Chains A and B, each alone.
Chain A
Amino acid sequence: MKTGTEIRRALRDWVIRTNGKIEPEELDDETPIIEQRIVSSLQIMDLILFLEKLSGKPIEVEKLKPGVFRNIGVIHRNFFEEPSHER
């Protein structure tokens, strides 16, 4: 079982690797990754697959609420803390 710190680090690493241009120091838990298009529309499905793998739980795309991917902190709260993202 990963700790919250490890999960947030894994998320940060994924975003940096996927974006390919952003420097690690430009990204913290509050950086708006969707608004700033650090994660693009074409990468959103990859993000969902990555979250499923990391959490070990399926994500029902139709039930996702606006704002759930706003930043790494919000993603962590929504997908890795109880209750699940459907709250």
Chain B
Amino acid sequence: MNAKRADDLEKVPGYRWHANGQSAFSGELLGLYQRLDRLFFGWAREYDAAEYAFPTFIPARELDKVDYFRSFPHLATFPVALDGSEENLRAFAGRGPLSAEGNVRLTAPAPIRDVITPAACYHFYVQFQGETLTAPRVVTTRATCCRRESHYLPLQRQWIFSMREIVCLGTADEVKEFLTACQERVDRFFKRVHLPVQWNAATDPFFNPSRNPKYLLQQLDPVKTEMVFQDLAIGSVNFHRNYFGEAFDIQRAGKEAFSGCVAFGIERWIFALLTHFGPDRADWPDLN
């Protein structure tokens, strides 16, 4: 089965694509979504990872500490609300809220101070800000993430998608050891179920990369390894060095903490499984 096109996927029971870059699941496919997340969570629990549930928004002030808006302005999505003055609200309601194309005809917006979560792990650095860790810390969360793109493809490139992450904070050696072991763990899974996935060095999708020294540095010292099915990255292993430890003043062993994460894009994993094994549950691999 080739599930690349929306009309192919529309034939898969329990799937509904929304052209604004979002997916809806029910039935067997929702079950697959849940089993995949449980699979990733099970790997996190092998490290005794504590699970967290975070809010949808991150304060822009926090993301600015890691230069997010200069590095990824094209991905950022902001929650917008109307300025609450009676006059403004009356003007909005009174002038016909939508254009003929369905565009919301905003009047004055309220100040925007938040960003919709672009990646699950940012929340942890905000949460642990100012802490001194007495041991390496492994944690996990699943977040609904939001990244604006120029175009969308069902399950492969979405505005809103689900990301499970396992994050380790510690010394450089503690984090590297965790990432290596985690990559081996995931690779064993790929081999067991015979899912053809390659591990490729990659860089983050920086805005205007040729003018960004962070992009140059990632090329010279790769810190991101992607799990690539066909030409689609369904997950990644990332070593952040002590970038977040420094930005959020998290200490470990007398120095700024190092960190790393393993991230799984749940919709993209579903795409890989449907494409490789087909739409029938009977043909899907055992995810337990």
Contacts and interface: CB of A to CB of B under 8 A. Distances in A.
B242 A66 contact: no
B219 to A, nearest CB: 7
B222 interface: yes
Contact of A34 (B201, B220, B246): B220
A21 to B, nearest CB: 11
Interface secondary structure of B, over-half rule? helix
A68 B241 contact: no
A37 interface: yes
Interface secondary structure of A, over-half rule? loop
A54 interface: no
Given A36-B172, A42-B213, A69 B246 contact: no
Contacts of A10: none
B214 interface: yes
Interface in A38-82: 41-42, 44-45, 61, 64-70
B221 A37 contact: no
B222 A34 contact: no
A70 B221 contact: yes
Interface string B243-261: 1001000000000000000
Interface string B213-254: 110110111100000000000000000011100100000000
B216 A34 contact: no
Contacts of B242: 36-37
A37 B258 CA distance: 10
A67 B241 contact: no
B172 A34 contact: no
A35 B220 CA distance: 11
A23 B146 CA distance: 42
Interface residues of B, number: 14
Contacts of A69: 220-221
B220 A64 contact: yes
B256 to A, nearest CB: 8
Contacts of A64: 219-220
B213 A35 contact: no
Contacts of A44: 213, 216-217, 220
B241 A36 contact: yes
A75 to B, nearest CB: 11
Contact of A37 (B216, B220, B246): B246
A67 to B, nearest CB: 7
Given A36-B172, A36-B241, A37-B241, A61 B221 contact: no
11 contacts: A34-B221, A35-B172, A37-B246, A41-B213, A41-B217, A42-B213, A44-B213, A45-B213, A64-B220, A66-B221, A68-B220
Interface of A: 34-37, 41-42, 44-45, 61, 64-70
